[in-house]
Structure 1
Amino acid sequence: METPVRDGGGIRGPPGGPAAGGRSLPMVRRWLVLLSAVLLLPIPAWGATDGPLVVTWQLPEPAAWEREQLRLLVTVQSPERYASLRLPSWQADGFEVVPIPPRRHHPREGGSRLEAGWLLFPLAAGSRRLAAPPIEYRLGGRSERLLAPPLRQVEVRALPEWMTPEIPVGRPRISARLIAPPWPSTDELMRLEISMEGEAIHPAWLPSVDSLLPPVAGLRLLPAREWRSSEPSPQGIHGLRRLHIPLRMERSGILPLPTLRLPWFDPGSGRLQVATAEPPRPWVIGPVWRLSFGLCLLALALLARGPLSRARISLARWRARRRLIRMLEGASDYQEVLEQVRCHAAAEGWHGRATLGRWMEAMERRFGPDPLLRGAVEEILAARFGRGERETAPHLPPLIAALRRRFRSPFR
């Protein structure tokens, strides 16, 4: 056992003794209290804003026809940016139910706007009570609230007895196009593409090939391929049905495709309407007609070969004549005039190295005597070789005027 030693009026004990422990214990307690206070402070959720949860229900109409679209939609204005909705499965008695996938929008003012619900198509007439299951409002991966839809009583009116299942309720659109060569023949396969679509129309109630295309003599229809799609949204369903029908013409003639008629029931007036489309109807030719047509084209080409060749030569000569006049207007001496005259003689097919006198004689043989042209050429020759004048330009206007009158038409 060690004895404490007094040093400078103080008492110094052994390390870890009561004196040292008495001073460190309050400091540890203060740090523990401060750490506990920091850990217990409330931390706000990231992305959260202040505001109430606003729930709006859009209920179906109290009266509807069979197969007419009804909407049960909920819109939630949430202050939380990353809130979501979960839609439960629902099978309503007497209805075809199409769920609307939940959607989330982020307004500029913050938070989020959530949409979800169901599209309902009545299948049977009578008074129906709609009791939809609650929709989950979720936040952070947990269910925070159940949104229970209000009860709704719907009176479903029966469609007329003559209505078939392939007559849609609502206004559809129909179009058709033909995929075929520019000159189709009877031994080639063509394809008719029919597209039917409409808002608030389920694709299951759009007609099939047999309803649109009745049998036609001379037209062979092969098995068709079909595509259906439906795009549910808060605004309603967009139904689409496409038919790709291979077909072949069995004889020559105009393709006998009938007018496509799509009857539909107007729920507003309660009457039957008809949407129509005119498919393309090209001329289809057989092998014999194709061969005959090719022979006719060949005969026409052979018959037109001579006139076309003569027309091409006449056009080239007329261009050479116009060029002669244009170049003579800018000529200044005799050598330039002689050079342009020789170019024109070569274009006309006059062989030999032409002089101005020989060129004039060839012009008279080709076009007949022309006193004005002969006088203009003799004046140029007299000025050049008789009087010895070097400038030929002053004597060219009469020659140019005579050539303009002579070369007025390109067919001479």
Structure 2
Amino acid sequence: MLAAPALELVVPDNAEYGRPIHVQLIARGLDSSLREYRPAALSALFEVDSVRFEDDDNNREQTLALTVYARQAGRVEIPALVFQDLSTAPATVTVTEAVDRKTGEPMTVRFDALPDRAWLRQAIAVRVAIEAPDAFLVLDLPAPQEAAWQIEAIAPVTARLDPGRYAHRGGWYVFALRAGQQELNLPAVQVVRDGVVTHRFFPPPLVPRVEALPPYLPTTVPVGSVALEVSAPTGWWLREDTLQSLRLTVTGDGTLPQMLPPVARQLQSNADIVFYPAKARYSKKVTPETLRSSAEIEVPFRTLVNGRVDVPDLRIQWFDPASGQLRSATTQMRLPLSLGMPWLTAIAVVLAGIGTSAVYWVAAWLKRALVNVQ
């Protein structure tokens, strides 16, 4: 006589945060296959790292072996898992704090709270801080490629706390590229000790409601804040038809370099001046506290007229996610007078004449002064 179908969940009583937990879901006497079954209740509590299916036809027993990681320390209550008309008994796993493999001392892991709303292309910080007894502990933070997200890893930094304790901080800045309800599961923060991965800490899922930007905004408008500085040639005059350069510095907070506005495109040649293709050098600073990008742009130009040169003002725009409004700033462009060679020659002649007259006048005055003295 065949035994009645049954479903059993096998879990350990205790596990360490950041270490793999081996779970088995065993089905006996069941005709349907467990191969494609993924228990949602388990995935909500743990990060499922790997799944292996085993089928023992002789004993009519199927095993779904899962390797999972707890999302935090503490007592985890696993509800009954249901497959067709069968269910398991509820189970409990006590997840203890992570422990440094070398010293046996505890490690404290903290992920910052995540927002439930964000704007399209707005920087969302996903930060982690791990306190540990080792100053040379390494955090490995991979930055995966996702179609709906732009992801930038934060280079880890280490700071000393009390003697024998160190804070290691890192994480990611992520940008949603699609509006609507989104979900992102970032990879584990891997703790490397003496070249070996000892722990893997998974961030909580990021599930924000992403707001679309106003339809009137150009796609080149960054979300964050932007500033512009202009360095133009100084002095009284520029020599006409001689190559000069404008230097533009664009900085953005909460943006990546490729998101900075293309300011140099506003410099269009006209009857007074011709602009040549710009050269740009981009950089970024990515820390747990700061995401800042900059562009150093050099724009060669040549003036074509004598006198004042008409140069357009430069205008930058950005979308402020805090207020939900479009912001802008205008930088006025002023160049010295443009003078050609005939004008420079004429000025030189005039100055030379003034100089000669001044010398003659001084000589005459000295001569009269000497006569009076005698």
Select 1:64's aligned residue among 109, 118, 122: 118
Find the counterpart in structure 1 of residue 231 from structure 2. Answer: 177
Instruction: Look up the SS of the partner of 1:117 in the other structure.
Output: strand
The answer for the alignment partner of 1:197 in structure 2 is 251
Greater relative CO, 1 or 2 (CA 8 Å, sep 6+): 2
* Structure 2 alignment gaps of length 5 or more: 1-100
Q: C-alpha distance in 1, partners of 2:194/2:367?
A: 88
Cα deviation for residue 243 of structure 1 reads: 1.4
Q: Do the aligned partners of 1:186 and 1:252 also contact (CA within 8 Å) in 2?
A: yes
After superposition, residues 1-400 of structure 1 pair within 5 angstroms as 51-179=105-233, 183-209=237-263, 211-311=265-365, 348=370
Is the CA contact (8 Å cut-off) linking 1:209 and 1:243 kept in structure 2? no
Give the conservation status (yes or no) of the 8 Å contact 1:84–1:104: no
Paired residue total = 275
Q: Following TM superposition, by how much is the alpha carbon of 1:232 offset from its aligned partner in structure 2, in angstroms?
A: 1.2
Q: For residues 312 and 159 of structure 1, do their structure 2 counterparts lie closer, same or farther at Cα, with a shift above 3 Å needed? A: farther
CA distance in 1, matches of 2:231, 2:366: 43
Q: What secondary structure is seen at the aligned counterpart in 1 of 2:245?
A: strand
Greater helix share, 1 or 2?
1
Contact 1:66–1:156 (CA under 8 A) maintained in structure 2: yes
Gaps of 5+ in 1: 1-46, 318-347, 350-361, 367-412
Question: Residues 104 and 312 (structure 1 numbering): CA distance in 2 closer, same or farther, change over 3 Å?
Answer: farther
Match of 1:7 in 2: none
Decide which structure has the larger Cα Rg and report it.
1
CA contact (8 A) 1:226 1:242 kept: yes
Write the deviation string for residues 83-136 of structure 1: whole angstroms up to 9, x where unpaired. 221113322341111111122222342222111211111112111112111111
Check 1:267–1:214 CA distance in 2 against 1; reply closer, same or farther (3 A cut). farther
Q: CA deviation at 1:288?
A: 1.3
In structure 2, distance between residues paired with 1:240 and 1:86:
26
2:13 matched to which residue of 1? none
How far the C-alpha of 1:182 sits from its partner, in A, is 5.6
1:181 deviates by: 6.9
The 3 A distance-change label for structure 1 pair 295 and 143 is same
Query: Aligned partner of 2:148: which letter?
Result: G
Q: Cα distance, 1:221 vs. partner?
A: 0.6
3-state SS, counterpart of residue 207 of structure 2: strand
Question: Shift of the alpha carbon at 1:311?
Answer: 4.7
- Give the strand-richer structure, 1 or 2: 2
Could you tell me how far apart the structure 2 residues matched to 1:247 and 1:312 are?
Answer: 50
CA distance in 1, matches of 2:363, 2:230: 46
TM-score of the pair, normalised by structure 1: 0.62
- Note closer, same or farther for the CA distance 1:269–1:312 as it changes in structure 2 (3 Å cut): farther
Distance change (3 Å), C-alpha of 1:160 and 1:211: farther
**What is the CA–CA distance in structure 2 between the aligned matches of 1:181 and 1:196, rounded to whole Å?**
24
Deviation at 1:245, TM superposition (A): 0.6
**Matched position secondary structure for 2:225:** coil
Equivalent AA in structure 1 for residue 278 of structure 2: A
CA gap of 1:280–1:49, structure 2 versus 1, over 3 A, is: farther
* 8 A contact 1:180–1:189 mirrored in 2: no
Matches of 1:228 and 1:171, distance apart in 2? 17
Following the alignment from structure 2 to structure 1, what is the Cα–Cα distance between the partners of residues 122 and 148? 13
Q: What's the TM-score, normalizing by structure 2?
A: 0.68
- SS of 1:305's partner is helix
Q: Corresponding residue for 2:82? A: none
After superposition, the Cα gap between the structure-2 partners of 1:122 and 1:308, relative to the gap in structure 1 and judged at 3 Å, is: farther
Which amino acid in structure 2 is aligned with residue 187 of structure 1? D
CA spacing shift, 1:236–1:61, aligned 2, 3 Å: farther
Secondary structure of the corresponding residue to residue 184 of structure 1? strand
User: What's the secondary structure of 1:149's corresponding residue?
Assistant: coil
Letter in 2 for 1:83: L
Percent identity (aligned): 25
User: Is the 8 Å Cα contact of residues 197 and 238 (structure 1) preserved in structure 2?
Assistant: yes
* Alpha-carbon displacement from aligned partner over 1:334-362 (angstroms, at most 9, x marks no partner): xxxxxxxxxxxxxx46xxxxxxxxxxxx8
